[in-house]
């Protein structure tokens, strides 16, 4: 009997779901600017949120490649839903799974796998983005745990999260060595959340500021050993960048597919515009960059799955795939002409959503600096 490849099964299953459930609702969901609760629950019932975690610990027993395939297919339908899923599977739950107590995992991690609780990841501050050494949110040790003070911004899921994974400084003198992650439930006194930001794209992804004012937490809420916060973040940075590249691949596919379909239908000067060489050149560039982005992305995920260090490869994948997705989304609006400026067609959403990819996992200016250094400059 011929057995199907797990990667093919996951891709086919997610593609069917996106075609049937996501794409028909994407325009309406995006316009609502509300958290896509119905779609979120349908994704949860598919066991998607646990794809990176072992079955005997409440996960679905998959790997990074399967995780990125899911992100890619969802991004093809609705980037907001893909971004929320990415947070649920990786950044929002990873440190709780690996470093939380059994009680914490039972109360928060397992419900998150079922879609009953929503996590988020608090890294960025008003004055600290790529420069993590500038983090000022302070976790001061007390006789019975820690007290946290500070503010995080651009927190995905911030307004709706049930718990937060928060990067804090424990010793400002140590700078990067003083960084550690902490688990903070939403209901903890001293946690406050701003109104959701008004966003250009990914409009159903709720983002906000989260402030921590004299937030007292027990010692077991430190996620990982002291002074290991940066190394723990680095342990998943390749995954974060590969995942962002996969989101970009999905958006690139959507832009290209819609452009091809429209170019075959739109008639100008007596011929479908698909017959004109300049339109063909745009599609050819999209197709070539899609193939290159896909190869870079899944080279990185397979290296991760085989425990081969690949921060350079994942960084290149994230940089190239995202730039290609932004370019494809722009070209799609040009192929659609005036209709690309209309909210009636989804290409305007692809254009807006593409900007979301530029900063996650590191700004491209920082990534280019890193790539140049790794290349011997």
Q: Residue 207 half-sphere exposure, CB side, CA atoms within 13 Å? A: 19
Beta bridge partners of 335: none
Do 356 and 220 sit in the same domain of this protein?
no
Residue 3 has a CB neighbour count (10 Å cut-off) of 6
Beta bridge partners of 139: 148
Going by DSSP bridges, is the β-strand pair 145-156/207-217 parallel, antiparallel, or unpaired? Answer: antiparallel
Domain boundary (208, 227, 246) is at: 227
Read off the pLDDT of residues 168-204 as tens digits, 9 standing for 90 and up.
999 989 889 999 999 999 999 999 999 999 999 999 9
The domain boundary, picked from 227, 255, 286, lies at 227
283: CATH: 1.20.140.10
Q: How confident is the model at residue 4 (pLDDT cuts 50, 70, 90)?
A: low
Is residue 55, in this structure, part of any structural domain at all? Answer: yes
Q: So what's the pLDDT on residue 3?
A: 52
User: Is the pTM higher than 0.85?
Assistant: yes
95: nearest Cα among 126, 122, 132:
122
In this structure, are 365 and 250 located in the same domain? yes
Q: Same domain for 108 and 210?
A: no
Query: Residue 376: is its pLDDT beyond 70?
Result: yes
Q: Cα–Cα distances in Å, from 277 out to 200, 211, 241, 281?
A: 33, 54, 35, 6
Same domain as 365, residue 248:
yes
Do 95 and 129 fall within a single domain?
no
Same domain assignment for residues 250 and 210: no
Q: Which residue has the higher pLDDT, 137 or 132?
A: 137
In a domain, 1, yes or no: no
Confidence at residue 1, expressed as pLDDT on a 0 to 100 scale: 39
Whether the predicted pLDDT of 362 surpasses 80: yes
Measured CA to CA, the distance from residue 19 to residue 74 in angstroms comes to: 10
**Is 257 among the domain residues?**
yes
Residue 327 lies in a domain: yes
Tell me the percentage of the chain whose pLDDT exceeds 70.
Answer: 99
Contact 281, 308 (CB under 8 A): no
> Are the beta carbons of 209 and 193 closer than 8 angstroms?
yes
Is 345 found in the same domain as 237? yes
Radius of gyration of the chain (CA): 21
Closest by Cα among 363, 286, 291 to 329: 286
216 secondary structure, DSSP code: E
Residue 142 forms part of a structural domain: yes
Q: pLDDT tens digit string along 307-321?
A: 999 999 999 999 999
H-helix or E-strand spanning residue 326: helix 311-335
Helix (H) and strand (E) counts in the chain: 13, 10
Angstrom distance (rounded) from CA 157 to CA 85 = 11
Asked if 239 and 307 sit in the same domain, the reply is: yes
Domain with residue 33: its CATH number is 1.10.540.10
The tally of domains found in the chain comes to 3
Looking at the structure, tell me whether residues 93 and 143 fall in a common domain: no
- 278 within domain boundaries: yes
Q: Are residues 239 and 366 in the same domain?
A: yes
Give residues with Cβ within 8 angstroms of 204, minimum separation 6. Answer: 29, 30, 32, 33, 34, 35, 36, 78, 80, 81, 84
Residue ranges making up the domain that contains 157: 119-227
- Domain boundary pick from 203, 227, 251: 227
Longest dimension (CA), the chain: 80
In a domain, 345, yes or no: yes
HEC string of 165-196 equals EEEEECCHHHHHHHEEEEEEECCCCCEEECCC
Query: What whole-number distance in Å separates Cα of residue 281 and Cα of residue 69?
Result: 28
Looking up tokens 């983005």, which residue turns up? 129
Q: Could you give phi then psi for residue 225, rounded to 5 degrees?
A: -75, 150
Is the pLDDT confidence value at 2 over 80?
Answer: no
- In the numeric block, which tokens belong to residue 137? 């949110």
The CATH number given to whatever domain includes residue 147 is 2.40.110.10
What pLDDT, in 10s, does the model give residues 211-263? 999 999 999 999 999 889 999 999 999 999 999 999 999 999 999 999 999 99
179 found inside a domain: yes
**CB distance 22 to 77 below 8 Å:** yes
221 and 269 share a domain? no
Compute the average pLDDT of residues 108-134: 93
pLDDT tens across 64-94, in order?
A: 999 999 999 999 999 999 999 999 999 999 9
> Pick the residue with more confidence: 130 or 35?
35
- The overall average pLDDT reported for the chain is 95
Question: Can you tell me the distance from the alpha carbon of 175 to that of 172, in angstroms, rounded to the nearest whole number?
Answer: 5
Residues 268, 178 share a domain: no
DSSP per position, 85-148: HHHHHTTTTHHHHHHS-HHHIIIIIHHHHTTSS-EEEE--BTTBSS-GGG---EEEEETTEEEE
**What's phi and psi for 148, nearest 5 deg?**
-110, 135
């Amino acid at each position: 009997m011929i057995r199907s490849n797990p990667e093919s099964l996951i891709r086919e299953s997610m593609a069917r779901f996106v075609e049937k459930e996501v794409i028909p609702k994407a325009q309406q969901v995006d316009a609502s600017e509300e958290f896509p609760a119905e779609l979120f629950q349908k994704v949860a019932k598919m066991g998607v949120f646990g794809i990176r975690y072992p079955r005997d610990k409440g996960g679905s027993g998959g790997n990074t490649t399967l995780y990125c395939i899911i992100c890619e297919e969802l991004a093809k339908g609705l980037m907001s839903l893909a971004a929320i899923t990415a947070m649920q599977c990786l950044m929002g739950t990873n440190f709780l799974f690996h470093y939380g107590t059994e009680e914490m995992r039972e109360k928060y991690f397992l419900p998150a796998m079922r879609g009953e609780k929503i996590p988020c990841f608090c890294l960025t501050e008003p004055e600290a983005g790529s420069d993590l050494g500038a983090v000022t949110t302070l976790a001061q040790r007390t006789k019975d745990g820690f007290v946290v003070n500070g503010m995080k911004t651009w927190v995905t899921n911030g307004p709706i999260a049930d718990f937060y994974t928060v990067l804090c400084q424990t010793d400002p003198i140590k700078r990067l060595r003083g960084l550690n992650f902490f688990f903070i439930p939403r209901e903890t006194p001293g946690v406050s959340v701003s109104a959701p930001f008004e966003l250009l794209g990914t409009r159903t992804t709720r983002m906000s500021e989260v402030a921590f004012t004299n937030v007292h937490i027990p010692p077991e809420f430190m996620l990982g050993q002291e002074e290991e916060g940066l190394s723990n973040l680095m342990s998943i940075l390749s995954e974060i960048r590969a995942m962002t590249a996969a989101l970009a691949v999905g958006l690139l596919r959507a832009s290209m597919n819609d452009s091809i379909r429209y170019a075959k239908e739109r008639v100008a000067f007596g011929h479908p515009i698909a017959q004109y060489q300049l339109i063909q050149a745009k599609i050819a560039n999209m197709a070539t960059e899609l193939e290159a982005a896909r190869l870079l992305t899944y080279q990185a995920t397979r290296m991760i799955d085989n425990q081969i260090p690949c921060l350079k490869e994942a960084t290149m994948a994230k940089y190239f795939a995202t730039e290609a997705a932004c370019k494809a989304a722009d070209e799609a609006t040009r192929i659609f002409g005036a209709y690309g400026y209309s909210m009636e067609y989804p290409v305007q959403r692809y254009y807006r959503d593409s900007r979301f990819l530029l900063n996650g996992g590191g700004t491209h200016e920082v990534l280019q600096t890193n790539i140049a250094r790794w290349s011997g400059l």
